[in-house]
A = this chain, B = another copy of it.
Amino acid sequence: MPWDEFGLISACFRPLSVAEPGAFALTDDAAVLAPTPHMDFVVTTDALVAGVHFFPDDPPGSIAKKAVRVNLSDLAAMGAKPRCVFLASAFPADVDKHWLNAFAEGLGEDLQAFGVALAGGDVVATPGPLTLSVTAIGEVPAGQGLRRSGVRDGDVIAVTGTIGDAALGLDMQRTSAPDALDGAARAWLLDRYRHPTPRIAAGQILAGRAHAAMDVSDGLLGDLRHMAEASGVDILLDARRVPLSEAASRWIGLVPAARERALTGGDDYELVFACAVDDFAAIGEALAAAGVAATAIGRAEAGEGRVYRYETGRRQLVAVPGGHRHGVEARGTSEP
C-alpha cells in the first residue's frame, strides 16, 4: 500500500467522528471537549498488539471491536458513560485497502452501537505487528466514579455475566476444544473472546450504589486479588458459585481441569463489584432490568489483601498469580 496517512484518515476514519463536534472531523491538532456540567471525565488507555492480544488473522472488524471494547470496559468499571475514543494505530506496511476498510467498518459499527465518536487519533507505519492504542473518555457524575479500593468488611462480592468464556475461546483458537463440544458452544466461546461485552449500563447502575467495582480483564482470581489489595480487605471466594455459561460448563464437564482455566484466564470484561449485603437484592434487580445477570460469588472481611477460596469446607489461600499474561503467542501462557 502506498502509505498515505492523510488519505487513510480521510477515507476510513473521518466519517466516524461526526458525533463529536469538538473532533473537528479529525482535521486539527487535537480535539476540544466541553465538559458536561456536574460530570467528571474518566480516561483510560489500553494497547493491543497482533500476536499478543489478538491473532493477526482475526477478522479486521473483530480486532477493531476488541480494541474499543476493552477500553469501554474500563470506563464501565468506573461507572462512566462513554463519550469518545482516540485511536493511535501502527499499521504494518503490507496492510491492504480491503483489510483497512473492514477494520474501519467494524470500528464504525461499534462506535455506533456504543454511542461514542472517534474524536482523534494517529496513523503511523510500523515494521512490526499491528499495534493499536485506544484512549477512551467517558463521564461520570462528579465524585461518583467507582473505585476498586472501596470494598468494606462484610460486603457481598458479585460478578456480572459469566466467567471464563473468553479464556476457553482463546484456548480453542490457539490449540483446540474437546471434540465433543458442539458448534454452537464453540461459536459462543469464540465470540466471547473476540467480542467482549463492556458492561456499560451495569457500570452506570453500580455507580453510587456499589462500594467498589473493576473489570475482570486479568483473570478472576488475579483481579479479586487486585481488588482485595486495593481495599485492604480479604476476599473469600466460593468458587462453586462463579457463574459459567452453558458452553463453558460443558467444556468443564468434559475436561475438569478447564475449571481452573476459567477462574484464572483473562479477557472476561465482566464487572466484579462489592456492595452491602442489604443492597445486593435491589442492585441485582436493577441490573436484571438492564438485561445483566449478577451473581454473588463471595464476601469480604477485614484482612490484608488476600483472596481465599472455599470449596470443600475449608479455606485455601490463593497464591499471588502476578496477573494474567495475554496468551495469543505460542510461548505465552495465561496460567499464573
Measuring CB to CB, which residues of chain A are less than 8 angstroms from any residue of chain B? 3-6, 22, 24, 27-35, 39-49, 51-53, 74-75, 77-78, 80, 86-90, 119-122, 124-129, 131, 133, 135, 137-138, 140, 142, 145, 147-149, 214-215, 230, 322-323, 325-326, 329
Q: Contact partner of A30 among B4, B53, B77, CB < 8 A?
A: B77
> A74 and B30: CB pair below 8 A?
yes
Smallest beta-carbon distance A137→chain B, Å: 7
Please, which residues of chain B bring their CB within 8 A of the CB of A128?
49, 126-129, 131
> B78 and A46: CB pair below 8 A?
no
> A43 and B124: CB pair below 8 A?
no
> B126 and A32: CB pair below 8 A?
no
Please, which residues of chain B bring their CB within 8 A of the CB of A119?
43
> B126 and A122: CB pair below 8 A?
no
Q: Which residue of B lies closest to A77 (CB)?
A: B29
> A5 and B323: CB pair below 8 A?
yes
Given the interface pairs A28-B148, A34-B40, A75-B30, the reply to whether A131 lies near B122 with Cβ below 8 Å is no
> B124 and A52: CB pair below 8 A?
yes
Given the interface pairs A27-B230, A78-B29, A148-B27, the reply to whether A52 lies near B127 with Cβ below 8 Å is yes
Sample of 14 further A-B pairs with CB below 8 A, known A30-B42, A35-B39: A3-B325, A4-B322, A4-B323, A22-B40, A28-B148, A28-B230, A30-B78, A30-B80, A34-B40, A34-B41, A45-B121, A126-B128, A127-B128, A127-B329
> A31 and B51: CB pair below 8 A?
no
Taken together as a complex, chains A and B put the C-alpha atoms of A87 and B33 apart, in Å, by 20
Smallest beta-carbon distance A172→chain B, Å: 22
Please, which residues of chain B bring their CB within 8 A of the CB of A29?
44, 74-75, 77-78, 148, 214-215
Please, which residues of chain B bring their CB within 8 A of the CB of A22?
40
Please, which residues of chain B bring their CB within 8 A of the CB of A120?
43-45
Please, which residues of chain B bring their CB within 8 A of the CB of A75?
29-30
Taken together as a complex, chains A and B put the C-alpha atoms of A53 and B197 apart, in Å, by 35
> A41 and B41: CB pair below 8 A?
yes
Please, which residues of chain B bring their CB within 8 A of the CB of A135?
43, 45, 86, 88, 133, 135
Q: Contact partner of A41 among B32, B147, B214, B322, CB < 8 A?
A: B32
